[in-house]
Amino acid sequence: MIFYSPTKGPMTLEAMFEDIVAYVDEAPRAQYRLIIGTDSHTRDDVTFVTAVIIHRLGKGARYFYARRHHHLITSLRQRIYYETALSLGVGSRLAEKLAENGHALLNIEVHLDVGRNGETRDLIREIVGMVVGSGFDARIKPDSYGASKVADKHTK
């Protein structure tokens, strides 16, 4: 999977991870949030974008995103589950790398494109359970800006 950095261009997961660690190592006493969120947009096919954000609280952030296309998925439920699975896949790979490199204390949040308003409200419990059961913190709208703002920006 190729990720894109708005400032550095295309990079592998390994290169993205190294950039995240270098960013954290610049200010090791700062507080960080490592956020992963996926959003999708439907046209002739479905474009899925997974965003990875390293947020230095009060001091800015860096982000990366990966885009993939999939055949048309008409079911909202299936699309939301697939978005969540993509986020969990990236989250698992990053968590493994963090544990191997001495940064296991960096907590990963998965931002979900579901909320209490709209069609996705019936999916909240299932999707949040899926994320929490995988060992990550889950955020839903309006607190899930990783999916609803950052990833959404690159789906069109």
Query: In this structure, are residues 67 and 90 in contact, taking their beta carbons and an 8 Å threshold?
Result: no
Q: How far is CA 25 from CA 19, 36, 56, 73, 74, in A?
A: 10, 20, 11, 41, 43
pTM: 0.95
Cα–Cα dist 154/156, whole Å: 6
Cα–Cα dist 113/93, whole Å: 21
Count of domains for the chain: 1
Q: Residue 14 is part of which domain span? A: 3-153
Cα–Cα dist 154/47, whole Å: 9
Cα–Cα dist 66/97, whole Å: 18
Query: In this structure, are residues 76 and 26 in contact, taking their beta carbons and an 8 Å threshold?
Result: no
Cα–Cα dist 152/150, whole Å: 5
pLDDT recorded at residue 53: 98
Cα–Cα dist 114/91, whole Å: 18
User: What's the average pLDDT block by block, 10 residues per block, for the chain (156 residues)?
Assistant: 95 97 94 97 94 96 96 92 97 95 89 95 96 97 95 92
